[in-house]
Structure 1
Amino acid sequence: MNHLTKCSVFIELYLFENSDTRAAIGTGFTVKTNNGDNFLITNWHCVTGRNPETNEQLSTNGVVDPERMDIHFLKRGSLNEWMIKTIRLRDENGRIFYIEHPKGQEIDVVAIKLENYIDIDIYNMWEGNIVDNIDMDITDTCSIVGFPKGISTAGKFPIWKIGHIASEFELNHDNKPMFLIDASTREGMSGSPVYCVRNKFASIGGEMMTGTDSISRFLGVYAGRVGNDIEIGRVFKAECIEQILINYYNNINPYRFTGNNLNYNMR
């Protein structure tokens, strides 16, 4: 099984901490820093129910600022049993427990620090044979690994959907660290990781390389479509995660972590 399949997790949002009625669904994925901390990565709009550009509610049911998130993790040592872990997103005073980007909701990505659970397995995305320098170009294929309309396979494993790079990868769309993809994505996929997967052949640093195993490049976090009538999606670039985590640790201890010594990708 591809390691990256085990990194994407199905998330369910509930308006109130003790609510039985699900308000929204989405996707998240897990990463680990070199000090052993595990984080769930997803979209800002998933944990708020708000449009990050206008701050208006996204759903027609009026649900905004959910208090609770349920996450489906694989049970420790199993590939066919799942356990739900509940995360509190905010308290009664509105204090949030997720970690925003230094630029706030302008960057539609958040991190949630996870507890050290003993009964589930948390898979580190950075251990999925990730290579940073696979060359990317317009029309190259990419994979979005999430839960379209909540659909999963063999329990709660995600669906791999294929898209193509639709804007120049080195440039920033809309003056944000973001690029566009052409893909038939659907609701429920917000927060999905986006990868470039190469089997045996890859252009790395301008040179064609060969190997026996597939390699992947983490491209960023899928953050929804540009509009409902066009299958163009937004992806916030991988660097946004590093910026969130460095800022988080600097706020805890400004003298301990820097961009040079926080090896957030465990490599």
Structure 2
Amino acid sequence: MKDTLASQLLKLTVLIKTTTSSQVNSYGTGFLVRKDGFIFLVTNKHVIEGSEKTYIKFFGQTDFVLISGQFVPSDDYDISIYFLNKVPDTVKCISEEFIPSEKDIEELDAIEDIIFIGYPTGLYDQYNHSPIVRKGITATPLSLDYENKSLFLIDASIFPGSSGSPVFRICSNNITITSRGMQKIVTHFLLLGIIAEGYIQGQKKEICLSPNIPAPPVIHRQMIDLGEVIKTKEIITLIENYINFHTTVETR
């Protein structure tokens, strides 16, 4: 596989497997972020909550690894982070260049192309131990807070297992001049957020207080290709709080 920025995105994700006391396995997605020399596994709180054991598999690794210790959850959003002492040489971490600034967000259009990477329904390339890439568009503008929260929606096929997937905006409009005077289009990516959940047909919340109102019809669980994404700034806030706390403790 050619070593490009796009190929490196595949190496950012981590397959998460959790087991319960009744030996039921569940799968979700996480991804790696490096900040100030710390490396974190980022995922959703609901991916690891209620699990008895948590295993992770990195890109290119044949085996799951049992991890111990506690995930640190966000108080306000469905995000948890886990500090990692080290990671295999086969993986990559999201660094500062992927993190959008407020100015970056303001300059985005109301509709943007996006990709997200993960393990829908636990599916992945088991021979090469590589995740699945999918694409879509933003369904609500990044510059707005959906329902007055640090969220936005994407129009994309979201399935169980996609929880925790990183969402990227594809930027391919930067042009540089090579030493031969030729134009070259440079592609880069911005981490827009983390997938939290998908929308299901017929699952809109309703309040039926009167017994005279007939029960709503039963509707099969059909995904409607809308996903809810927590914005990157909430991930960075949680990571910075962790770093600040542990840096302060160590300097006492």
| Normalised TM-score (structure 1) | 0.71
In 1, the alpha carbon distance for the partners of 2:169 and 2:82 equals 25
Amino acid at match of 1:136: L
Consecutive aligned runs of 4 or more in structure 1 exceeding 3 Å deviation: 119-122, 253-257
Give 1 or 2 for the bigger CA radius of gyration.
Answer: 2
Aligned partner of 1:110 among 35, 57, 80: 80
Q: CA shift at 1:142, angstroms?
A: 0.5
Aligned partner of 1:124 among 84, 93, 105: 93
Q: Over aligned residues, Cα RMSD in angstroms? A: 2.6
Q: Secondary structure at the match of 1:139?
A: coil
User: Which 5+ residue runs of structure 2 have no aligned equivalent?
Assistant: 176-182, 202-221
- Asked whether 1:45 is paired with 2:46, we answer yes
Write out per-residue CA displacement over residues 171-214 of structure 1, whole angstroms, 9 at most, x where no aligned residue. 11122211011111111110000001123448xxxxxxx85331
Q: Secondary structure at the match of 2:230?
A: strand
Partner of 2:113 in structure 1? 141
Alpha carbons of structure 1 residues 70 and 243: separation in structure 2 relative to 1, 3 Å: same
Q: Secondary structure at the match of 1:243?
A: helix
In 2, the alpha carbon distance for the partners of 1:38 and 1:252 equals 14
User: Which 5+ residue runs of structure 1 have no aligned equivalent?
Assistant: 49-64, 75-79, 90-96, 203-209, 258-267
In 1, the alpha carbon distance for the partners of 2:86 and 2:236 equals 21
- Asked whether 1:236 is paired with 2:204, we answer no
Q: CA shift at 1:3, angstroms?
A: 0.8
Q: Does the aligned pair in 1 maintain the 2:174–2:186 contact within 8 Å? A: no
Partner of 1:177 in structure 2? 150
| Normalised TM-score (structure 2) | 0.75
Partner of 2:218 in structure 1? none
Alpha carbons of structure 1 residues 198 and 211: separation in structure 2 relative to 1, 3 Å: farther
Partner of 1:5 in structure 2? 10
In terms of fraction of residues, the more helix-rich structure is 2
Larger RCO: 1 or 2 (CA < 8 Å, sep 6+): 1
Q: CA shift at 1:216, angstroms?
A: 0.5
In 2, the alpha carbon distance for the partners of 1:179 and 1:33 equals 24
Q: CA shift at 1:150, angstroms?
A: 1.3
In 1, the alpha carbon distance for the partners of 2:232 and 2:89 equals 26
In 2, the alpha carbon distance for the partners of 1:67 and 1:45 equals 13
